[in-house]
Amino acid sequence: MTSNLLILYEAPALGLQLAIDGILIGAVFALAAYGMALVWGVTNIINVAQGEFVMLGGLISILGAEHGLPLWLTVPLAAAALYALGWLLFYTVIVHLLGRDMFNSVLATFGIAIVMQQVMAHVFGAADRIAASSLGSWFFLDNFVVISKMKVVVFAACIGLGLTLAWFLSRSRKGQAIRAVAQKPEAASILGIETRKVYCLTYSLNAAICGAAGALAATAYTIQPYGGLSYTVRSFMIVVVAGLGNLGGVIWAALGLGVAENFAGFILGTQYQIAFVFGLLVAVLVFRNWRLRRQRKHLE
Amino acid sequence: MRGFVASLSFVLLACGADIAVGADDAANDDVITLGAAVSLTGKYALNGANTKNGYDLAVQQINNKGGVKIGGKSYVFEVRYYDDESTPARGTELVERLIQQDGVKYILGPYSSGLTKAILPIIERYKVPMVEANGAARELFTKGYRYIFAVLSTSDQYLTPAINLAVQNAEKLGKKPSELTVAIATENDPFAQDVRAGVLADLQRFGMNCSIDDQLPPELNDMTVTLAKMKALQPDVLVVSGHEKGALTAVTQIEALRVNVPVVALTHCDSAQLAKKLKKASQHVFCAQQWHRSLGHKGALFGSAADFAKRFEAAYGYEAPYQAAQSAAAVYVFADAFSRAESLDSEAVRDAISATNLKTFYGPIKFDQTGKNIAKPMVLTQIIDGEYVVVAPKKWATAEPVIPRPKY
């Protein structure tokens, strides 16, 4: 461990590389987590099929790329396909979960995840895939810091999507309806908002976001029908760390976790990378609990 | 609630009926039923399918040639499959079901060391011989189990030829082997950890240094941390083992980050279709393989290695990975053992398997006391212009290895 710290001290450029890579991978997780936070906040449903949406988006974009479609086309294609799937799933499964105990939603979406895994494996095959990207990289400091252009595109697209979503939620009529329903569904429906339609829009939008994230991720990371779980777990963690209802915080939490994870992997060894992230999660929860308790005391 | 109970009992009844059919099948006089729980879904689905295809092709070939003769009577093979979903707990359940409920008396192995390890206690408890083709970790053979036989070489030997090549190259350049440093990145599973142990033993043998020893999580997707460290420490050899995902991730990210390392050695290249999918990025990478179609092995069942490869491609439409070849060889071992045992008694079959001394398209097969095949060496290939070219051992090499990899 000390020797690893020494390496970082002697070659600070490596620290820069780790931070940049952390931010770039964090951006992909940020999108998936953003969608999860949206659905969770609005419909009170924890969508455990989040990772499978990401994988399906990736597989669709790889399939598109294999048929000669450029990236700027495969990403919207994946998003559109996933939007349609989200709509379908909403009216077949999710609609029956509205207003029920959260445990039901976890079970049902877990079922969706399993069905999706099997169908994807059946249709696309179970092989690990990666879309060939030919954009190359930028090199700095004698090749010590390398920034893959593709990952920068992914990052920019994630930030762009995130900002568009934030704008959509705060400014557009539909976005305002989503927020109104999230705050108080009964009051929103009295005011003429069709809550069910809003729920459907939210869920489909989430699927589309995940689809886009998957299509972007496929250019830099391996995609496999059964590889969705790590995205689901990561999204869940990011949402918990950011705090429910804090959509802006989701982006920061995702990027921050990406960076922290990379440094932990470098300094402690990759075998402790995931353990570190989960340790962090526990620490955040304990801290929150402690703070909440203090507030409660204050109120008494 | 009543509806639920009714449907539950219906399901149970249906299962019962299914079990009864299974028992009937196994008792059929002219058919020998082999049982296999392989991963048709889950993270090993790809190699689970390779395993099943290998088994099926061998069964088909054996049956086409008239099956096996026991006491003047011909028997054909049939395999009863279950999907273990790539999870050890399910694998254990299913093997127990195969033996207890379906009455299967001979087992073909699952895919991966982890799943093989999980079912071994069941195999031993019921004293059912198992020939397996895809569990390579040494720990499978150190517990004193009597009923496991493996046609493949153990995982500690996978990358020994690559280390040997690096050492030979260093000596050619007038360097001492002990001056070489090695970086190891392995997945945290029984197989890859045994690959790692094998490499560490090789390093000790040559007095070489291990500068990086990273273990990657099972869902590994990103190796940038290890590769960043490599830029600082500049090892002479990089060894990566993490199934198909590990091979794809390593090759893509080494290219993306322009990591210069003279020797890169991987496992699972051909099942990841590395040479085909990432032709440029995988150039001059070394791959550990159990088998290759260009090897000169020959046997009675399929003919030569190349003949098997052709048959496989015609049947399944893709090039035979070694996982499929060794699976076919496992069925061949059973066929050979049955005809020598002249009996269907599992103990007699077990003893016959133990005495196997067979030349096959996959290589020679001869088991030691612990059940591992000691007759077949590993091969090392190098990817050159999108083709796997055998570079070691010398006897089968078709080209000289290219060391070092050209710098980026």
Query: How would you write the pLDDT of chain A (300 residues) with one tens digit per residue?
Result: 677 887 777 777 788 888 988 888 888 899 899 999 989 988 889 999 999 999 999 999 999 988 888 878 998 999 999 999 999 999 999 999 888 888 999 999 999 999 999 999 989 888 888 887 667 778 887 777 888 887 788 788 878 877 888 888 888 888 888 888 888 888 988 988 888 888 999 999 999 999 999 998 888 888 989 889 889 988 998 998 888 777 788 888 999 988 998 899 888 888 888 888 888 888 988 988 888 777 665 544
Map residue B48 onto helix, strand or coil.
helix
Q: State whether A270 and B46 contact (CB < 8 Å).
A: no
How confident is the model over B76-104, as pLDDT tens digits?
999 999 999 999 999 999 999 999 999 99
The CATH number for A265's domain is: 1.10.3470
Shortest CA distance to B248 belongs to which of A246, A221, A236?
A221
How confident is the model over A7-62, as pLDDT tens digits?
777 777 788 888 988 888 888 899 899 999 989 988 889 999 999 999 999 999 99
Count of CB pairs separated by less than 8 Å, A with B:
109
How confident is the model over B208-259, as pLDDT tens digits?
999 999 998 877 778 888 998 898 889 999 999 998 999 999 998 898 888 9
CATH number of B13-153+295-366: 3.40.50.2300
Q: Give the start-to-end residue ranges of the domains of chain B.
A: 13-153+295-366, 157-289+379-396
Shortest CA distance to A131 belongs to which of A200, A198, A64?
A64
Choosing among A130, A259, A278, which should be mutated to test the B contact, i.e. which has the most B CBs within 10 A?
A130
Strand-pair partners of B298: B304
**What dihedral angle (degrees, nearest 10) is formed by the CA atoms of A84, A87, A90, A92?**
-70
Residue of A nearest to B215 (CA): A271
How confident is the model over B102-119, as pLDDT tens digits?
999 999 999 999 999 999
Q: State whether A127 and B278 contact (CB < 8 Å).
A: no
Q: State whether A271 and B214 contact (CB < 8 Å).
A: yes
How confident is the model over B117-167, as pLDDT tens digits?
999 999 999 999 999 999 999 999 999 999 999 999 999 999 999 999 999
Q: State whether B272 and A128 contact (CB < 8 Å).
A: yes
Q: Which structure tokens are listed for B385?
A: 């212009």
Q: State whether A137 and B256 contact (CB < 8 Å).
A: yes
DSSP character at residue B69: E
Instruction: Provide the residue type at B105 as one letter.
Output: K
Residue B12, pLDDT above cutoff 60: no
Pick the CATH number of B157-289+379-396 from 3.40.640.10, 3.40.50.10330, 3.50.50.60, 3.40.50.2300: 3.40.50.2300
Instruction: Provide the ipTM.
Output: 0.81
Question: What gap in Å lies between CA A125 and CA B244, rounded to an integer?
Answer: 14
Residue of A nearest to B246 (CA): A222
Domain count across chain A: 1
CA distance B80 to chain A (A): 21
CB A50 within 8 A of CB A210: yes
Q: State whether A226 and B233 contact (CB < 8 Å).
A: no
Contacts of A146 in chain B (CB under 8 A): 256-258
Q: State whether A270 and B226 contact (CB < 8 Å).
A: yes
Q: Which among B49, B217, B245 has the least Cβ separation from residue A273?
A: B217
Contacts of B274 (CB under 8 A, 6+ apart): B247, B248, B251, B266, B282, B285, B287, B383
Strand-pair partners of B299: B303
CA distance A217 to chain B (A): 11
Q: Which among B41, B232, B273 has the least Cβ separation from residue A118?
A: B41
* Residue indicated by tokens 């400091």: A141
Contacts of B315 (CB under 8 A, 6+ apart): B53, B57, B60
Contacts of A265 in chain B (CB under 8 A): 225
Question: What gap in Å lies between CA B41 and CA B69, rounded to an integer?
Answer: 35
* Residue indicated by tokens 């877990």: A110
Q: Which structure tokens are listed for A3?
A: 């020797």
Question: What gap in Å lies between CA A30 and CA A235, rounded to an integer?
Answer: 7
Question: What gap in Å lies between CA B282 and CA B268, rounded to an integer?
Answer: 13
Q: Which among A7, A21, A117 has the least Cβ separation from residue B232?
A: A7
Range of the structural domain that residue A60 is part of: 2-299
